[in-house]
Amino acid sequence: MTEEPAPAASPPLVGEWVRACGLQRADALALLRACAGISHAALLAHPEAPLPDSCAARLRQAAQRVRAGEPLAYVLGWKEFYGLRLQVGPQVLVPRPETELLVEFALQHLRPRQPAEVLDLGTGSGAVAIAVAAQRAHARVHASDRSAEALRLAQDNAARLLPAARPGGPLQWHLGDWMQALPEQAGPFDLLLSNPPYVAADDPHLAALRFEPALALVGARRSADGLAEIRALLVQAVPRLRAGGWLALEHGWNQAAAVRALLRDAGLRQVHSLRDLAGIPRVGAARAAP
C-alpha cells in the first residue's frame, strides 16, 4: 500500500505567530517588523495574513535568541536612545533609558551656541557623546573607552548620525583607562559625563545580563560594592575639570548616598542626585570650586 504524501504544513498566520511565539507582545511586534516588514498597523488590519515563507525561518531564529535571554537590541542590531537609532552589538552595553538623564543634565548646563569642552567617559556605543553632540553643535565633544571594539562601533554611529561638519568639530576619540586615554593637553573640561561600570562583582543580577560585556557592567577593577571604577575615575578626572565645571555620573539604584560621599571626598561642591522617571536617584552630580 502506498502512503499518501503528508500535506505541506500551511504557513502560520501572523496573528497566530504573535500569540504563540512565547515572547512579550512588544518584542514579538518588533521582530515581526524587522524580519518580515510587517507593521503593528498591518498586523491589526490583517491578523489572518500568512507569514511569508521567505522570512519565517529568520523570524523563528530571532525569536529563539530572545527566548534564550539575549537582549532584543542585539537581535535587532539597534537601540533607540534620545531619539537616535544607535547600532549595538555584544561589544557594547545596550543603552538604557535612565542614561538619558546624563544627556538632559548636559543640555541644561550647555547653552545652545556655547563653545565648551565635554567628555563622555566609557562611551560604549557612543550614546551619551553623540546625543550631546547632536544637540549642542558648538561643543567640542570627546569620548573615551577602554574597549577598542566599543570605540570602533561608537565611531561608526557618530559617522552615521552626526553631520560631517559641525561648529564644535568632529568628535574626539580616546582609547584607554579613564583619563589616561587622553593627551595631557586635552581639557580642562566644562562637563564630564559618565555611565561607568557599577555592578558589584557578586551581584546576582549579573546572570540575567550575561550577554552584555563584563567590562561594561563590573569593569576590570571588580569590587564588592561596585564602586571601584567610580573611585578610580574620580581620582583621575576631577583634576581635569575646569573651575566651576560640572561632573555627572550614573550609578546603581542603591548607590546614591555612597556616590554623593565620593563626590564630596573628591573636593566637589553642590553635590546632589538626579532621579529617573521612577523617582529613583540614578545620577550623582557635582561642581568644581569656581
Residues that bind ligand SAM (CB under 6 A): 92-93, 95, 99, 122-125, 127-128, 144-147, 150, 177-178, 195-197, 215-216, 219-220, 229
CB of 108 to ligand SAM, least distance (A): 18
Measure the CA–CA gap between 269 and 242, rounded to whole angstroms: 13
Measure the CA–CA gap between 85 and 221, rounded to whole angstroms: 31
Q: 33 vs 155, which CB is nearer to ligand SAM?
A: 155
CB of 248 to ligand SAM, least distance (A): 12
Helix H or strand E encompassing 88: none
Q: 17 vs 81, which CB is nearer to ligand SAM?
A: 81
CB of 183 to ligand SAM, least distance (A): 15
CB of 46 to ligand SAM, least distance (A): 37
Backbone φ and ψ of 264, nearest 5°: -65, -45
Q: 69 vs 97, which CB is nearer to ligand SAM?
A: 97
Q: 215 vs 283, which CB is nearer to ligand SAM?
A: 215
Helix H or strand E encompassing 279: none
Give the cell for residue 190: 566644562
What stretches of the chain show up as alpha helix (H) in DSSP?
14-20, 25-36, 40-45, 53-67, 72-76, 100-109, 127-135, 148-161, 214-217, 228-237, 256-265
Asked, as a colleague might, if the bond just before 188 is cis with ω within 30 of 0, I would say: yes
Task: Give the contacts of 239 (CB within 8 A, at least 6 positions apart).
Answer: none
Q: 176 vs 188, which CB is nearer to ligand SAM?
A: 176
Q: 58 vs 160, which CB is nearer to ligand SAM?
A: 160
CB of 206 to ligand SAM, least distance (A): 13
Measure the CA–CA gap between 13 and 28, rounded to whole angstroms: 14
CB of 196 to ligand SAM, least distance (A): 6
CB of 261 to ligand SAM, least distance (A): 21
Q: What angle do CA 220, 284, 133 make, to 5 degrees?
A: 80
Output the CA–CA distances (angstroms, integers) from residue 116 to 106, 187, 241, 268, in the order listed.
11, 10, 12, 20
Q: 73 vs 288, which CB is nearer to ligand SAM?
A: 73
